[in-house]
């Protein structure tokens, strides 16, 4: 007999593992406010107290050249485009320096799959940032960029990751996951490969010792079942990382899960989609709450004030999120889709306080630097 919502409530509140069918039932059928209450209770159980963390960071881009042709992206350009660009190492360092001057402790650097760049370019960037700005964490390169480096260099992904590690990098962002369903990924960006392509990079990264994040971009062509499939794949990979740590005392893992909704402006996909699944605040809050309940082994769930708006970001703190994301002093990918939100450290602190929580600045690896 299928579980009832009261059964699923009791199971979720007890921290018991939900099955994919149970996750899909919660996502489709649970009343939104009740789902939020259950997720908030789980957040409190995992993170007692009312502290909400954030990181001071920036998200610049070193190139907009990319040949993957994802239909949801308004940012990329082909190499022969009039407005294509690629910054050299010194220009990247200048961007990192500007972020540091504003207090950033993390820089999330990403761009595209640019076949004109050698592996040495990426290694030189990491080394230069570590040398010139040792107090800034180089949170660089998504899975598809790392695959691109490996292809250009004629090396395997594990070797590329090892060389990045030796250059001084310790964390990687989780961008490029979209929806970890082969059907969805083949329609959104078939050159990226199926779900295993993204998972394999993070699996290899964790084996070396990297910390990474897991992301989801929803609100386009996915089904509720594919949303749960995505969460289930993330949870399974985290199980592997936790088991490795338990047996060897080493290895990395996912630090956080970060969902955000698709922004259609100026994208090829905008012309295709006529009925987007849940792109509004209610859908976001439902997604966030389900994430907290389903991902029982991922320590942090991040609210995205940037992609969903500041007020929705505040409400998200009552739907299971324990982190408010970053300040994102610079961001160009969403801006290319016509979606812009900006903030400051003082603004983030005020937003968290207004929501009824205590703000705390953290590092990329979720170490608390100061409480406000």
- Give the integer Cα–Cα distance in Å for 355 and 175: 28
Residue 18 maps to a domain? no
- Do the beta carbons of residue 292 and residue 318 sit within 8 Å? no
Residue 288 maps to a domain? yes
- Do the beta carbons of residue 203 and residue 243 sit within 8 Å? no
Residue 225 maps to a domain? yes
Residue 25 maps to a domain? no
Residue 201 maps to a domain? yes
Q: What is the DSSP letter of 270?
A: G
b/e per residue, 101-122, with b = 16+ CB within 10 A? eeebbbbbbbbbbbeebebebb
- Give the integer Cα–Cα distance in Å for 37 and 187: 35
Average pLDDT over residues 186-213: 96
CATH assignment of the domain containing 341: 3.20.20.70
- Which residues touch 121 (CB under 8 Å, ≥6 apart)? 89
Q: Give the chain's domain count.
A: 1
- Which residues touch 20 (CB under 8 Å, ≥6 apart)? 225, 228, 229, 232
- Give the integer Cα–Cα distance in Å for 234 and 282: 23
- Give the integer Cα–Cα distance in Å for 241 and 340: 35
Q: What is the model's pTM?
A: 0.93
Each residue's pLDDT tens digit, 126-153:
999 999 999 999 999 999 999 999 999 9
Reduced to 3 states, what is the DSSP secondary structure of residue 74? coil
| C-alpha 242 chain-centroid distance | 19
Output the pLDDT for position 307: 76
Residue 235 maps to a domain? yes
Residue 159 maps to a domain? yes
Residue 45 maps to a domain? no
Output the pLDDT for position 273: 62
Average pLDDT over residues 71-97: 93
What is the percentage of the chain residues whose pLDDT exceeds 90? 81
Please give the residue range of the domain that contains residue 109: 51-371
In this predicted model, which residue has the larger pLDDT, 209 or 263? 209
Each residue's pLDDT tens digit, 307-349:
788 899 999 999 999 999 998 775 444 444 443 446 788 999 9
- Do the beta carbons of residue 97 and residue 87 sit within 8 Å? no
- Give the integer Cα–Cα distance in Å for 171 and 50: 27
């Amino acid at each position: 007999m299928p579980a009832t919502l009261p059964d699923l409530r009791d199971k979720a509140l007890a921290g018991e593992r939900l099955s994919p069918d149970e996750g899909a039932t919660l996502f489709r059928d649970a009343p939104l406010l009740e789902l939020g209450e259950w997720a908030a209770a789980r957040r409190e159980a995992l993170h007692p107290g009312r502290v909400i963390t954030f990181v001071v960071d920036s998200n610049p881009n070193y190139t907009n050249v990319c040949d993957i042709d994802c239909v949801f992206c308004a940012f990329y350009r082909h190499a022969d485009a009039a407005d294509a660009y690629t910054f050299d190492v010194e220009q990247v360092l200048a961007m990192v320096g500007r972020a540091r001057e504003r207090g950033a402790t993390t820089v999330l650097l990403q761009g595209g799959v640019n076949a004109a760049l050698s592996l040495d370019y990426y290694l030189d960037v990491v080394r230069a940032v570590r040398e010139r700005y040792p107090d800034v964490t180089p949170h660089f390169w998504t899975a598809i960029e790392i695959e691109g480096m490996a292809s250009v260099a004629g090396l395997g992904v594990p070797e590329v990751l090892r060389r990045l590690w030796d250059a001084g990098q310790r964390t990687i962002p989780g961008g490029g996951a979209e929806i970890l369903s082969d059907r969805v990924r083949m329609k959104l960006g078939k050159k990226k490969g199926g779900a295993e392509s993204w998972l394999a990079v993070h699996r290899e990264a964790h084996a070396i010792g990297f910390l990474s994040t897991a992301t989801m971009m929803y609100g386009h062509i996915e089904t509720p079942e594919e949303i749960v499939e995505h969460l289930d794949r993330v949870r399974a990979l985290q199980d592997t990382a936790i088991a490795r740590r338990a047996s060897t005392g080493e290895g990395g893992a996912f630090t956080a899960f970060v969902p955000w909704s698709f922004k259609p402006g100026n994208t090829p996909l905008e012309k295709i989609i006529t009925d987007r699944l849940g792109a509004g605040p209610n859908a976001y809050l439902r997604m966030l709450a389900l994430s907290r309940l389903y991902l029982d082994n991922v320590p942090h769930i991040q609210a995205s004030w940037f992609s969903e708006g500041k007020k929705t970001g505040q409400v998200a703190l009552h739907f299971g999120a324990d982190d408010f994301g970053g300040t994102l002093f610079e961001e160009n990918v969403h801006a290319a889709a016509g979606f812009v939100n900006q903030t400051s450290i003082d603004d983030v602190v005020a937003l968290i306080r207004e929501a009824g929580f205590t703000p705390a600045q953290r590092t990329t690896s979720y170490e608390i630097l100061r409480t406000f």
